[in-house]
């Protein structure tokens, strides 16, 4: 069975082919047009998707040595994300499915991330904890089986990736902020600024990142220009460290609570090397089995959409052509549609 996956929820236009469960091509075009704006400009993002989507799909087919007629079904992200960007991918997929006379399946982008550690071959061993750390979400899920998910922790304000992006803007770095802060942290002392790990009173398992963004803003405003430039790597390393330590604090709490010892860590922030290193430390200390996606599957991609589309196709699941883009789509506890 050949599934074409299409992803256009934010600023990556991506297409991938999953053939009998294996990803045989994976094309991602990151939109550079936003770099000068410190964040994604929604109108520009949808225009770029519209301009590129057909070309990217053709590239994915070419790289798999397949043609349109070889596709059995089309999986496409229908939320969450930017409305205009989602509409471009979704309508392209609907049109192609109608033209080829094949089913199309709307995929929740978060469900794509949920299984992204298992794209390259590791067997999925249920139940496991999935730590989803993206630019829009910071959540810990108990994945009981395919389609059966329990939300254990979530952010009450900014996501961890967003904290990296906003911090980078305060530090005059480019977008996306995570890789920029990581790069500028090299050789830095993570204890230079003593940030406190933010707590959420109403639920100690939840995350809050808006306070540390304000903390770095005030700290920077209180420093002389020269002091900032002389200590730039220390500042970046300290900011990176408090984000990572906050993530790890809640992860450890959930491990204790659920007693689950298989953890999958996914999303753009899972590409961070310091984060991976600290997770590996916890993994050894607690005798856990941690799974990370390949770096190319941490950030947004269509391979994860094609793979979930493949699971759903195998279960005979297809979507109606009436399916609408859902910018605020959530993962429900039982998600079998
Ligand atoms: O999963 P993703 O590509 O898109 C969403 O679904 O949001 O995640 C993007 C986020 C951005 O906020 C970006 O700054 C962050 O992931 N990110 C990183 C790194 N690479 C990407 N954060 C920290 N370290 C990185 N190396
Ligand atoms: Zn994503």
108: helix, strand or coil: strand
CB 190 within 8 A of CB 237: yes
**Strand 148-154 vs strand 12-19: parallel, antiparallel, or unpaired?**
unpaired
Select from 150, 146, 137, 148 the least CA-distant residue to 207. Answer: 137
- Cα pseudo-dihedral 207, 212, 214, 220, rounded to 10: -170
**Pocket-testing residue among 40, 186, 269, ligand 1, by greatest number of atoms within 8 A of Cβ:** 269
pLDDT tens per residue, range 223-267: 999 999 999 999 999 999 999 999 999 999 999 999 999 999 999
Other CB atoms within 10 Å distance of the CB of residue 221: 8
- Rounded average pLDDT over 291-319: 96
pLDDT tens per residue, range 118-165: 999 878 899 999 999 999 999 999 999 999 999 999 999 999 999 999
Q: Is the pLDDT of residue 200 over 50?
A: yes
For ligand 2, the distance from its centroid to the CA atom of residue 22, given in whole angstroms, is 21
Nearest CA to ligand 1 atom 16: 268
Alpha-carbon radius of gyration of the chain: 20
Q: In 154-230, which residue ranges form alpha helices assigned H by DSSP?
A: 160-170, 177-184, 210-221, 225-230
Distances (CA, A) of 106 to 39, 224, 329: 26, 51, 11
Q: Is the CB of 147 within 6 Å of ligand 1?
A: no
Select from 37, 16, 35, 36 the least CA-distant residue to 27. Answer: 16
């Amino acid at each position: 069975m050949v599934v074409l996956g299409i992803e256009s929820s934010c600023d990556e236009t991506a297409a991938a082919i999953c053939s009998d469960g294996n990803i045989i091509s994976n094309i991602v075009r990151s939109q550079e047009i936003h770099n000068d704006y410190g964040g994604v400009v929604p109108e520009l993002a949808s225009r770029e998707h519209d301009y590129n989507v057909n070309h990217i799909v053709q590239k994915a087919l070419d790289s798999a040595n397949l043609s349109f007629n070889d596709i059995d079904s089309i999986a496409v992200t229908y939320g969450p994300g930017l409305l205009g960007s989602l509409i471009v991918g979704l309508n392209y997929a609907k049109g192609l499915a109608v033209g080829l006379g094949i089913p199309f399946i709307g995929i929740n982008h978060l469900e794509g991330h949920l299984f992204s550690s298992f794209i390259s071959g590791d067997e999925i061993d249920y139940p496991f904890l999935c730590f989803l750390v993206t630019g829009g979400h910071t959540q810990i899920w108990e994945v009981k089986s395919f389609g059966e998910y329990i939300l254990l922790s979530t952010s009450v304000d900014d996501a961890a990736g967003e904290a990296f992006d906003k911090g980078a803007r305060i530090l005059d770095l480019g977008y996306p902020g995570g890789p920029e802060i990581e790069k500028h942290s090299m050789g830095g002392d993570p204890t230079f600024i003593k940030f406190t790990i933010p707590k959420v009173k109403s639920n100690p398992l939840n995350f809050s990142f808006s306070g540390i963004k304000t903390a770095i803003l005030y700290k920077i405003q209180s420093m002389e220009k020269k002091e900032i430039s002389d200590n730039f790597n220390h500042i970046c390393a300290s900011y990176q460290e408090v984000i990572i330590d906050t993530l790890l604090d809640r992860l450890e709490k959930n491990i204790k609570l659920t007693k689950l010892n298989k953890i999958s860590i996914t999303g753009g922030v899972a590409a961070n090397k310091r984060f991976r290193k600290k997770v590996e430390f916890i993994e050894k200390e607690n005798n856990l089995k941690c799974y990370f996606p390949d770096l190319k599957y941490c950030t947004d991609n269509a391979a994860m959409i094609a793979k979930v589309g493949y699971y759903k196709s195998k279960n005979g699941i297809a979507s109606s052509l009436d399916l609408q883009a859902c910018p605020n789509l959530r993962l429900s506890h039982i998600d079998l549609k």
